[in-house]
Amino acid sequence: MPEIRRLPEDLINRIAAGEVVERPASALKELVENAIDAGASSIAVRLGTGGLDLIEVSDDGCGMSVEEIALSLERHATSKLPDEQIEQVATLGFRGEALPSIASVARLTIESRVRSASEGWRRVVDHGQVTDDGPAGLPPGSHIRVEQLFGKVPARRKFLRSARSEYAACLDIVRRLAMARPEVGFTLEHDGRRTLAVQPGEELATRVSRLIARELAEDGVVIDVERGPARLTGVAGLPTFNRGVADHQYLFVNGRPVRDKLLIGAVRGAYSDMLARGRHAVLALFLELPPSELDVNVHPAKTEVRFRDPAFIRGFIVGGLRHALEAQGQRSAQAPAASAMGKWQSDLVDERTPTSSLQSLFARQHSEPQARVSEGGKVWRSYEQDLMLKPEARAEEAEALSGDAAQYPLGVARGQVAETYIIAEAEDGLVIVDQHAAHERLVLERLKAAGAGETGARSQALLLPEVVELEEPACDRLEERAKQLGTLGLVIERFGPAAMLVRSVPAALAGGNVHALVQDIADDLAANGEALLLGERLDHVLATMACHGSVRAGRTLSVVEMNALLREMEVTPRSGQCNHGRPTWVKLAHGDIEKLFGRK
């Protein structure tokens, strides 16, 4: 049996580095966080070969004295805890943990100067060994340079990714930290090319839209809600402004970028009935809490947090997001594809291709475009031929309108095209409404409002109660929330150590697979700590009911019906998108129409 022995200091530092420094982006994160904690108003980052060969961070913060530089390279030395209450830490990290770990696996150069000193100091540590120590000339602040990361640890170096992938990870780190601190200016250079630059003192919404997507300035909602000790701010994209992956969701807790499954689940729950499966919201959310309400020391890199009251946090985020989105009424992302817009500018057709009048205006999005040049058997179609065509669009004479009718946001109905789209004239342009998608959202909101007015969701008692066998921890979680689940229509009780007895299910889910329902809820409780999956399932059922109970495409509507639909959309929350996240209406402004006809 080998005897227990103490490890050498350099090996201890390498083990610590494995926890803190996984790749260049990890080292960069620690250095930039140190600069932020030092009170910097401007931070400059330079990278070489994606950070594999060079990471350089310069700031104009408070700087370090000679003694502090030496201490910062020792393990468990920090300036970020004024006392021993580690749970009260309000900074981003611990300087004494990161620097010695980085210095043990790279060549680290520290240059720093405090504002009261006439000169700075420079210390170089090459893979754990001090190779240079002396005065240095530099302005107040700190300058940290990391070279040859894992240069003498080939086992770690060979597992790093390509320079392009490592640079992408570094860029994401700088973008997240710049988003969290709009009062700080950031620049990032990679191989001599500047790739990011933001000025200090920007408003949060401006900083977020510049770093995520400029479209958020038009297609986003500013969030600012408070409840008790918690405050939630940020920018959330409209449901119709979404992405196919979740890499445009930025979450922060007390200014710290995190990837927390509770927060991710809360975002998913807030958008549950507004996005199609496989689509993800675009947003940046900043949650502020007293330090005593969370634990930031559950992960070495502090990318995860633990909340004292997770149920309150999830409900707060879901409620805040939903309230902000509902307040936008019928807004939707107004960004038609360029290819679709280009097809408005056609004036030639192929005589050999059957024409379909105005219906082709919308059907062309899903078919091959018609010919547009007058050659090779393709000719101008005359105005007389147009008159001979049987129109497939329909319109009827509109009734006289009141003087303020032009002020309606979605305008006044002027006709129907292809028995699918309502054409309305608004004060500032032409509005096209997908009648099925719009009515689908209206029906869903009615069903949800009707359910909200009841004391609890209607339940369907089972003729014979069903026993669902689960693991004992899963049964414990379900038993703890049996009362909450009962208000949603699912009545359950404990049936031995490893089983639950189901007596009733929500009426909307009657006839479904009871075992699968209970198992999914148990899995959701294990993953997120809250039973929101049942609510999301009910929303999905209601959405399905709304789809089947709404006005179908291909149904002829009168002008009165069309106007009634428009007026209801204007007062219904989230009517700008259907239950699957697609827009229910688009608008062509007067200026856009003039461009189509060459008037502008």
pLDDT tens across 32-85, in order?
999 998 999 999 999 999 999 999 999 999 999 999 899 888 876 666 555 555
Mapping DSSP to helix (H, G, I), strand (E, B) and coil, where does residue 491 land? strand
Q: What is the mean pLDDT of the chain?
A: 78
Q: What is the 3-state secondary structure (H, E, C) of 374-423?
A: CCCCCCCCCHHHHHHCCCCCECCCCCCCCCCHHHCCCCEEEEEECCCEEE
- Which residues of the chain form CATH 3.30.565.10? 9-198
pLDDT at 182 over 50: yes
| Residue 352: band (very low, low, confident or very high) from pLDDT cuts 50, 70, 90 | very low
Tokens at 298, concatenated: 């559950």
Span 9-198 CATH architecture: 2-Layer Sandwich (3.30)
| Residue 359: band (very low, low, confident or very high) from pLDDT cuts 50, 70, 90 | very low
Q: How far is CA 475 from CA 191, 480, 493, in A?
A: 56, 9, 9
Look at domain 407-600 and name its CATH class.
Answer: alpha beta
Which of 105-109, 295-299, 491-495, 498-502 is least confident? Answer: 295-299
| Residue 223: band (very low, low, confident or very high) from pLDDT cuts 50, 70, 90 | very high
- CATH code for 204-326? 3.30.230.10
pLDDT above 90: percentage of residues in the chain: 28
- Which residues of the chain form CATH 3.30.230.10? 204-326
pLDDT of residue 299: 63
More confidently predicted of 448 and 99: 99
What is the C-alpha separation between 387 and 396, in angstroms, rounded?
Answer: 18
CB 54 within 8 A of CB 27: no
pLDDT of residue 552: 58
- Which residues of the chain form CATH 3.30.1540.20? 407-600
